[in-house]
Amino acid sequence: MSRATLILLCLAAGLLAGVGVATLSPQAAGWGIGVAGPVGTLWLNGLQMTVIPLVVTLLITGVATTAEAAQAGRIAGRAIVTFLGLVTLTATMAALVTPVLLHLVPIPRGAAAALKTALGHAAPVGPTPPISEFLTGIVPTNIFAAATNNALLSLILFTLAFAFAMTRIEGSGRAQLLGFFTAIRDAMLVLIGWVLWLAPLGVFALAFVVGASAGSAAFGALLHYIATIASIGVIVMLMAYAVAAIAGRVPLPRFARALAPAQAVAISTQSSLASLPAMVEGTKTLRIAPATSSLVLPMAVAMFRGTQPAMNVAVALYIADWFGIVPGPAAVAAAVVAAILVSLGSASLPSQITFFASIAPVCVALGVPAAPLGLLIAVETIPDIFRTLGNVSMDLAATATVSRWSGTIDEERP
């Protein structure tokens, strides 16, 4: 049994146990919450303590990798520009579409209120400041204070500037700094792996509290969450067809025929890397020159996640609606920027490892609590299917776009 499946089963078991105990004996449910609550909170704190060092080191090593790839030639540079343009497009789409979806098919209010009560320790980060104060506060006067006060957008922007500055120093110094931050990143990944090893226990404890407090309404709320977030992934996948047709000038039937085998692998494996051989075969159908596909596709798999910023913004906006928070335009813009920047460093990692670290900064930028992520990570297995489908589709669409931009379409190939 995979760990993701085990965590999902522990979520269901915890919810059922909480609902059952609360139905049979409210007093016993109170005792159970007294035991399970601290266990779930401790596990959640273990996840939260990894966020800042992991985000900082992933950004620095990601920028270094991106800068190195950009020096590989014009095609590599065009690929990076294409990747950044597409994640900006998809993240903006999610910021606009998610509130519409939640308005058309709202979260059941009773379930939302019950879940909010069950996660009562999850307090909002704070009210959104006026736009003038927001803009002047982006550049921190004290980077350590920014980290202490959860000003993650300021921290991310400083880290991004530091990473680009690091690429401009002499080779030996750059290599030493990169090695230092790479070692910290690897150590943090080991640490978060240990925390995730305890995820079945932590998720069961959190789910028990939610089930005992919110009752059976918790199941409906989680299903609504899965459907909403998966819908954003489907929209990203459909956008890939439009990108291929408009920017790549590929006929839709040909693109669909080239993409179908890779999508089949993506559904069965939930891995963009495992889908790479099928995508390479698809580039032959798209008549992309091998010199271009052999460079751009591996770059896309390693550096580009078309769905990550979009679905992460959607998760944060869902939590905002869940807690009755209405973020202002400045906060939404900050969330989009945070999602794009964090995606630079975490694209090549498994989604379960980076789920909390990549979404928590978006939640902080939006002014919503990150604590519900400890519960939502348990159902990530299902949305992750749509993440992978969208990623694979965008990878091939981006490759077709770069190929057309570079003039490397093999017109003689049938």
Task: Write out pLDDT tens, residues 389-401.
Answer: 999 999 999 999 9
Instruction: Name the pLDDT band for 292 (thresholds 50, 70, 90).
Output: confident
Task: Write out pLDDT tens, residues 37-79.
Answer: 888 888 888 877 877 887 788 778 877 777 766 666 678 788 8
> What is the chain's percent helix, strand, coil content, to nearest 5?
80, 0, 20
Reply yes or no on domain 3-406 having CATH 1.10.10. Answer: no
Beta bridge pairs of residue 318 = none
Give residue 117's pLDDT.
Answer: 65
Tokens representing 66 are: 């991106």
**pLDDT mean over 21-34:** 86
Could you tell me how far CA 223 lies from the centroid of its own chain? 19
Give residue 14's pLDDT.
Answer: 87
Instruction: Name the pLDDT band for 312 (thresholds 50, 70, 90).
Output: very high
Would you say 317 and 99 are in contact if contact means Cβ atoms under 8 Å apart? yes
Distance CA 311, CA 236 (A): 9
3-state secondary structure of 327: coil
Q: Where are the alpha helices (DSSP H) in 25-50?
A: 26-48
Task: Write out pLDDT tens, residues 399-412.
Answer: 999 988 877 665 54
Tokens representing 216 are: 């059976």
